Amino acid sequence: MGKPETTLDIPLEISDVSGQKVFSVANAPTANTVGELVHEMIGKMNLPRNDAGGAPLTYQARSEREGRHLNASERIGDALQRGDRLTLQPNIDAGLR
């Protein structure tokens, strides 16, 4: 776990799986959860929210500094530090459908 952040918001860097789509966030609210951040960033990064059948896709945020997937319920201020880089990694099926 990171040292708890006491500021209201922190800058972060968010990447997709390929590492070729990277966005800087200037003001991630420390009181928000990682799940809320991921939800908003999926839209900002124009990543798909649903699979081919319309079912919601699940993305997990992986902290590069800590080398672990963050739980969606973790608070940004508790789990992340200024300048941390997160990668959004989906759980997704290739298949016959």
Q: Which residues bind other proteins (CB under 8 A)?
A: 13, 16-28, 37, 40-41, 44, 46-48, 51-53, 57, 59-60, 62, 69, 87, 89-97
| Smallest distance, other proteins to C-beta of residue 15, A | 9
State in angstroms the smallest separation of the CB of 27 from other proteins: 5
Helix or strand holding residue 40 (H, E): helix 34-44
CB proximity list for 32: less than 8 A, separation 6 or greater = 75, 76
47 or 75: whose CB is closer to other proteins? 47
Quote the tokens at residue 11.
């800058």
- Which residues lie across from 60 on neighbouring strands? 89
